[in-house]
Structure 1
Amino acid sequence: MAELFIDLASRTPAATALVDERGSTTWRELNDRVNGWIEVLRGHGVAAGDAVAVMAGNRRETFEMVLAGLHAGMTVVPVNWHLTAAEVAYILTDAGCRLLVVDAQRAAVAADAVARCGGPPPLTIDDLAPVPDAAEPTDQLCGALLLYTSGSTGRPRGVANRLFVAGAPFSRVGRLGDYAARTLRLPAEGRTLVVAPWYHSAQLFFALLPLLRGSTLVIEERFDPVRTLSTMARHRVTTAHLVPTHFVRLLALDPAVRDQLTPADLRLVWHGGGPCPVDVKDRMIAWWGPVLLEYYGATESGAITVIDSIEAGQRPGSVGRAVPPHEIVILDPAGRPLPAGRTGTVYVRRTGGSGFHYHNAPAATAAAHREPDLFTVGEVGHLDDAGYLFLTGRARDVVVTGGVNVHAAEVEAVLLRHPEVRDAAVVGVPDEEYGERVVAVVVAAEPDRADELPGRLDRHTRETLAGFKAPRAYRLVDALPRDDTGKLRKQLVRRMLAELPGGGA
């Protein structure tokens, strides 16, 4: 049997392991289908140590394929299905993929990508049709995950995820599951919702670990506020991973609809992937109860800090305290530690020298590490006296105006607290006198009343922020470019701003 869930397939063979919009799979069926997928991959020339890329949607077969690679010593490379053919080709080449598996919806882009990099033709997941096999495949070996960052500031970089380490004992995954149960309250049973794209590191982590501990995965192809709430009710979802953008869209529903569809069985909602405005979190807790558990982390690091709903009410705006084996240190530009309350670059110390590395990028790896076990992913923030972390923004997301640094995230957080703002982004545009000036790009909650909104926002920001941080201009748009995790694509915001009448005025 498949080593990672041999106990579940033996003890509860008829219980549901996976369910999506097309049907369901029991634990015994999952075991047999994973075995079949292993033979399919091997039959197409993929062996232990090889990389196989998967660019398919949220569906049962995708998770079966990933689990097959992780049981056959392969490196599974999740591919963002929104990428262009050129971007996909870069990942295939950088990761050295022997095979690309896609679904029909992405087949054309996949074929173009493979043609660009000279790889073998992509295989369509629907056409592979594995033969379920109860017999244990020979030579089972723990595989690995190679996750690529979004590439918002350049080409994407591959990060070796430390949950699955090629060639390591399968028992290592179980021990990490036990660790996640202690630090992130990972369930051993229940029903876990998968609604964000599976290829994101957090979504994949918060899907695979609950599954391997016995939780049913309820898989939705994409997020839709009403449909997702209905799915949660129909399948009695107990745990979910969501992002702040999901919260905003849920809260925008008519109150009567929200009341009717309040999840009754929900016990825990992890959230991260971007800053969550305090009022948004407060409203979600008032609606769903104290079930929110926020974490701060990155593809490079995994979860670093955690804060539950009760703590969040006591320290609004914090992303929590570091969980072992992590320690947070704040350093100034010269690398000197800063005391509580002082803002600087957020560094993470992971004991035991177990830092991360970027695939094929030793210079970038070295740049992220100050010491072998001390690294940063570029966040800026401070600690309070009790060790709670407050993030201000990213080191590279700073507007330098008149020689003074303005952190965009700080201004965005103030704008998002205004009841007439649905979404906001802050960027710097060239200014002959000051070098850069601060400009806010805003989505109005009530477009019909937006004519006087810039004036109201100017008064609002100046009540909270120093004058030099207040935006010098406000541009209203219908929507902002965010990816599936809710992260702003600042390059696209700047391009959008440049294309508006009057440019970045």
Structure 2
Amino acid sequence: MQIPLSVMDFLDRAELVYGDRVGIVDEPVQPAESWGELSYRRVAELARAQATGLDRLGVGPGERVAIVSHNSARLLTSFFGVSGYGRVLVPVNFRLRAEEVAYIVEQSGASVLLVDPELADALDGVVAEHKFVIGADSDALLYDFDNAPRRYAISENDTATINYTSGTTARPKGVQITHRNAWLNATLMGLHYGASDRDVYLHTLPMFHANGWGLPFAITGLGARHIVLRKVDGAEILRRVERHGVTFLSGAPAVVQMVLDAAADWDGPVPGRDRVRMIVAGAPPPTSVVQQVEEQLGWEFMQLYGLTETAPIVTVNRSRAEWDALPAAERAEKLVQAGAPALGTQLRVDASGEVLVRSNTVLDGYWRQPEATAEALRDDWFHTGDGGTLTDGQLTISDRKKDVIISGGENVSSIEVEDCLYGHPAVAEAAVIGVPHEKWGETVKALVVLRDGQGTVTEAELIAHCKQRLAGYKSPTSVEFRDALPRTATGKLQKFRLREPYWSGRERQVN
């Protein structure tokens, strides 16, 4: 017997087994009316009502529903109310500028667009056939509790979500995650990181980011509790950990540092000692940070290496029984490695040093970009664009083969930033690289050659030019002016030479 895997399986089980249990505690302070505490039965009712509302709008199976939102119960429920009933959810990075969101809405062909009220003015010019500002008014239009939804037949190979990611092109690519991809990724996350119905999961990780790494599905299916955090703040994370008995959270190294900074000023014992475990991904933090998590916070440090294209799990690193007797510094050195492949995942490193992946969580393709899909999946392996080494089954990421900077856990296409700089009349040449940063892991640096007679242009002017056109995290934090940029005989920019002075003496060329 073979039953198609569907993301709806997770909510169906939660409603059946844990219907009366509080499943979601919504963010209490937000511009949209908070949904407060929701039982899993109520979450399922809301998902059905949302699907019925989409039926009423004439949104058929396979049509795209885009949502630009901070973490919220409405976004969390949409993973089921949209994808679980045969449509395709397009969760959009709320940090993007209007032009970037407009591109995603148009490229995905989304017929419905939901916008966080805090972003309504900024995204006023972004259009869709059906556009709503999230809140009580849109709830009345979008959620139909009086009728039953159509339940379209879903193949496990149907696209469940399209998640846009910055890559080596100036425009983001839409990663098609199937129901099968999402189902198996969520199951692997729950298995490897030990999730159970006793967990209380704090959403410090943006839900739009690779579908919150699949944890919205895993936590729901196991009947654990979701605590929605709208905006990341170190002290507030500690307060929620204390108030709700949080046991589990995830985030980029920058989030870890926020928590450590807040803990230094915390009055009394740090909440969660010997109870909380945290998955860190986006970039490996320094060993000193791993030690601080385990010693100062008393939290278990775990690591994940993955990509949006792999839904995202590729490798897992969690302390083993064999490491228990090791000194803290030695254990930290092991924990900063990317780790061992997740169950069912195959890894290899090719002759150029690029990490290649095969697994059931690898994307179906890039939405409406067959050439990019063929390039990424050539020879039946997914080409990550990351450089690394495999030793005794353990992966270490050492360099980024593709032209992407990861700052605070977010991908930044250097080509996109360069294109923006070239839009300034004073810029003759531009190269954008990632350089080490204590808080964000990497930060964006621009190396610029000015046109003749434009020597009065300042660093601040070029940064402001980018911030007017790009999301803040994509904009350069510093600009250096150069007389020339190194190129090969064929004119190709030699970025390795530009990066070298900033990364010299470091073991890894990522931070």
**Structure 1-normalised TM-score?**
0.72
1:391 to 394, 397, 404: 397
**Distance in 1 between residues matched to 2:81 and 2:440, nearest whole Å:** 42
Please tell me the residue identity of whatever aligns with 2:40.
Answer: W
Indicate conservation of the 8 Å contact 1:233/1:264, yes or no: no
Instruction: Specify the alignment match of 1:155 in structure 2.
Output: 171
1:66 to 79, 89, 96: 79
Q: 1:392 to 1:202 in 2, by over 3 A?
A: farther
Q: 1:272 to 1:77 in 2, by over 3 A?
A: same
Q: Could you report, residue by residue, the CA deviation over 1:435-484 in whole angstroms, capped at 9, with x for unpaired residues?
A: xxxxxx9xxxxxxxxxxxxxxxxxxxxxxxxxxxxxxxxxxx9xxx9xxx
1:364 to 356, 360, 372: 372
1:97 aligns with 2:80: no
Instruction: Specify the alignment match of 2:38 in structure 1.
Output: 25
1:347 aligns with 2:359: no
SS in 2 for 1:269: strand
Q: 1:283 to 1:110 in 2, by over 3 A?
A: same
Task: State the 1:178 CA deviation.
Answer: 4.0
**Distance in 1 between residues matched to 2:268 and 2:440, nearest whole Å:** 21
1:319 aligns with 2:338: yes
Instruction: Specify the alignment match of 2:64 in structure 1.
Output: 51
**Distance in 2 between residues matched to 1:422 and 1:349, nearest whole Å:** 30
Task: State the 1:304 CA deviation.
Answer: 0.8
Instruction: Specify the alignment match of 1:128 in structure 2.
Output: 138
Task: State the 1:109 CA deviation.
Answer: 3.4
Instruction: Specify the alignment match of 1:337 in structure 2.
Output: none
SS in 2 for 1:111: coil
**Distance in 1 between residues matched to 2:205 and 2:185, nearest whole Å:** 23
Instruction: Specify the alignment match of 2:218 in structure 1.
Output: 209
**Distance in 2 between residues matched to 1:121 and 1:314, nearest whole Å:** 51
Indicate conservation of the 8 Å contact 1:149/1:156, yes or no: yes
**Distance in 2 between residues matched to 1:369 and 1:258, nearest whole Å:** 51
Q: 1:133 to 1:244 in 2, by over 3 A?
A: same
Instruction: Specify the alignment match of 2:479 in structure 1.
Output: 497
Instruction: Specify the alignment match of 1:144 in structure 2.
Output: 160
Q: 1:68 to 1:24 in 2, by over 3 A?
A: same
Indicate conservation of the 8 Å contact 1:160/1:356, yes or no: yes
1:253 aligns with 2:262: yes
Q: 1:382 to 1:197 in 2, by over 3 A?
A: same
Q: Could you report, residue by residue, the CA deviation over 1:223-250 in whole angstroms, capped at 9, with x for unpaired residues?
A: 1111111011100011111221011122
Instruction: Specify the alignment match of 1:434 in structure 2.
Output: none
Indicate conservation of the 8 Å contact 2:204/2:229, yes or no: yes
Indicate conservation of the 8 Å contact 1:294/1:308, yes or no: yes
Indicate conservation of the 8 Å contact 1:150/1:156, yes or no: yes
Indicate conservation of the 8 Å contact 1:326/1:349, yes or no: yes
Q: Could you report, residue by residue, the CA deviation over 1:88-121 in whole angstroms, capped at 9, with x for unpaired residues?
A: 111111111111112222223333111xxxx325
Instruction: Specify the alignment match of 2:245 in structure 1.
Output: 236
Please tell me the residue identity of whatever aligns with 2:343.
Answer: P
State percent identity of aligned pairs.
22
**Distance in 1 between residues matched to 2:215 and 2:72, nearest whole Å:** 15
Instruction: Specify the alignment match of 2:284 in structure 1.
Output: 275
Please tell me the residue identity of whatever aligns with 1:325.
Answer: G
Residues 105-124 of structure 1 mapped to structure 2, 5 A cutoff: 105-114=118-127, 119-124=128-133
Please tell me the residue identity of whatever aligns with 1:145.
Answer: T
SS in 2 for 1:393: strand
Indicate conservation of the 8 Å contact 1:111/1:122, yes or no: no
Aligned length: 409
Indicate conservation of the 8 Å contact 2:68/2:93, yes or no: yes
Please tell me the residue identity of whatever aligns with 1:129.
Answer: D
Instruction: Specify the alignment match of 1:77 in structure 2.
Output: 90
Instruction: Specify the alignment match of 1:169 in structure 2.
Output: none
SS in 1 for 2:125: helix
**Distance in 1 between residues matched to 2:160 and 2:170, nearest whole Å:** 25
1:16 to 1, 4, 22: 22
Q: Could you report, residue by residue, the CA deviation over 1:291-315 in whole angstroms, capped at 9, with x for unpaired residues?
A: 2220100000121111113565362
Please tell me the residue identity of whatever aligns with 2:344.
Answer: P
Instruction: Specify the alignment match of 2:452 in structure 1.
Output: none
Q: Which runs of 5+ in 1 are unaligned?
A: 166-171, 334-343, 400-407, 432-440, 442-476, 482-486
Task: State the 1:498 CA deviation.
Answer: 3.7
Task: State the 1:316 CA deviation.
Answer: 5.1
Task: State the 1:55 CA deviation.
Answer: 1.1
Please tell me the residue identity of whatever aligns with 1:196.
Answer: L
Q: CA RMSD in A?
A: 3.5
Q: Which runs of 5+ in 2 are unaligned?
A: 1-7, 29-33, 324-330, 406-432, 450-458, 486-497, 502-511
Instruction: Specify the alignment match of 1:5 in structure 2.
Output: 11
Q: Could you report, residue by residue, the CA deviation over 1:475-499 in whole angstroms, capped at 9, with x for unpaired residues?
A: xx9xxx9xxxxx996x6337x3248
Task: State the 1:216 CA deviation.
Answer: 1.0
1:198 to 202, 207, 215: 207
Q: 1:202 to 1:136 in 2, by over 3 A?
A: closer
Indicate conservation of the 8 Å contact 1:196/1:222, yes or no: no
**Structure 2-normalised TM-score?**
0.71
Task: State the 1:265 CA deviation.
Answer: 6.9
Q: 1:25 to 1:152 in 2, by over 3 A?
A: farther
SS in 1 for 2:93: coil
Indicate conservation of the 8 Å contact 1:285/1:309, yes or no: no
Q: 1:137 to 1:222 in 2, by over 3 A?
A: same
Indicate conservation of the 8 Å contact 2:167/2:402, yes or no: no
Please tell me the residue identity of whatever aligns with 1:292.
Answer: F
Q: 1:367 to 1:321 in 2, by over 3 A?
A: same
Instruction: Specify the alignment match of 1:473 in structure 2.
Output: none
Instruction: Specify the alignment match of 1:404 in structure 2.
Output: none
**Distance in 2 between residues matched to 1:251 and 1:292, nearest whole Å:** 13
Task: State the 1:141 CA deviation.
Answer: 4.4
Q: 1:204 to 1:54 in 2, by over 3 A?
A: farther
